[in-house]
Amino acid sequence: MIKITFPDGSVREYEAGITGLDIAKSISNSLARDIVSVSVNGTNLDATRPIHTDATIKLHKFDDPEGKYAFWHSSAHLMAEALEALYPGVKFGIGPPIDNGFYYDVDLGEDRVLTDADLPDIEAKMSELAKQKNDYQRQEVSKQEALDYFSDKGDEYKLELINELEDGTISFYQQGNFVDLCRGPHIPNTGFIKALKLTSIAGAYWRGDENRKQLTRVYGITFPKKSMLDEYLEMLEQAKERDHRKLGRELELFMFSNRVGQGLPIWLPKGAALRERLENFLRSVQRKHGYQQVITPHIGQKELYVTSGHYAKYGKDSFQPINTPAEGEEFLLKPMNCPHHCEIYNSKPRSYKDLPIRMAEFGTVYRYEQSGELHGLTRVRGFTQDDAHIFCRPDQLKDEFIKVIDIILYIFKVLDFNDYTAQISLRDPGNKDKYIGTDENWEKAEAAIIEAAEEKGLHTTVETGEAAFYGPKLDFMVKDAIGRKWQLGTIQVDYNLPDRFELEYIGSDDHRHRPVMIHRAPFGSMERFVAVLIEHTGGKFPLWLTPDQVVVLPISEKYNDYAQKVLNYLNNCDIRTLIDGRNEKIGRKIRDNELLRIPYLLIVGENEQNEESVSVRRQGEGDKGTMKLKEFEQYLNKEIDKLLLY
Nearer to RNA, 104 or 172 (CB): 104
From CA 23, how far away is CA 13, in angstroms rounded?
A: 10
- Among 387, 475, 480, 494, the one annotated catalytic: 387
Q: For residue 424, how many C-alpha atoms fall within 13 Å in the half-sphere facing its CB?
A: 17
- Among 519, 528, 536, 597, the one annotated catalytic: 519
| Minimum gap (Å) between residue 512 Cβ and RNA | 26
From CA 428, how far away is CA 433, in angstroms rounded?
A: 10
Active site residue 212: no
What are the start-end ranges of the H helices in 415-485? 439-455
Q: Is residue 471 helix, strand or coil?
A: strand
Q: Exposure pattern of 569-583 as b/e (b: 16+ CB <10 Å)?
A: bbeeeebbbbbbbee
Nearer to RNA, 50 or 483 (CB): 483
Active site residue 582: no
Q: Strand runs (DSSP E) across 241-298, as ranges?
A: 254-255, 266-267, 292-293
Active site residue 389: yes
User: 220, 196 in Cβ contact below 8 A?
Assistant: yes
| Minimum gap (Å) between residue 610 Cβ and RNA | 8
Nearer to RNA, 134 or 441 (CB): 441
Active site residue 367: yes
| Minimum gap (Å) between residue 318 Cβ and RNA | 5
| Minimum gap (Å) between residue 530 Cβ and RNA | 15
- Among 473, 528, 536, 589, the one annotated catalytic: 473
- Among 286, 385, 423, 619, the one annotated catalytic: 385
Active site residue 338: yes
- Measuring CA to CA, which residue among 538, 521, 604 is closest to residue 567? 604
Nearer to RNA, 2 or 306 (CB): 306
Residue 419: count of CB within 10 angstroms of its CB: 10
- Measuring CA to CA, which residue among 634, 548, 557, 641 is closest to residue 274? 548
User: 388, 520 in Cβ contact below 8 A?
Assistant: yes
| Minimum gap (Å) between residue 150 Cβ and RNA | 23
- Among 125, 138, 381, 389, the one annotated catalytic: 389
Nearer to RNA, 63 or 317 (CB): 317
Residue 53: Cβ-neighbour burial (10 angstroms; 0-12, 13-18, 19+): exposed
From CA 329, how far away is CA 215, in angstroms rounded?
A: 45
Nearer to RNA, 122 or 338 (CB): 338
Nearer to RNA, 177 or 607 (CB): 607
| Minimum gap (Å) between residue 573 Cβ and RNA | 21
Q: Exposure pattern of 428-441 as b/e (b: 16+ CB <10 Å)?
A: eeeeeeebbbeeeb
User: Got the DSSP string for 213-234?
Assistant: PEEEEEEEEEESSHHHHHHHHH
Cis peptide preceding 224, ω within 30 of 0: no
User: 489, 518 in Cβ contact below 8 A?
Assistant: no
Nearer to RNA, 194 or 245 (CB): 245
What is the sign of the dihedral through the CA atoms of 375, 376, 377 and 380? positive
| Minimum gap (Å) between residue 593 Cβ and RNA | 9
| Minimum gap (Å) between residue 75 Cβ and RNA | 17
Active site residue 370: no
Give me the active site residues, please.
Answer: 338, 367, 385, 387, 389, 473, 519
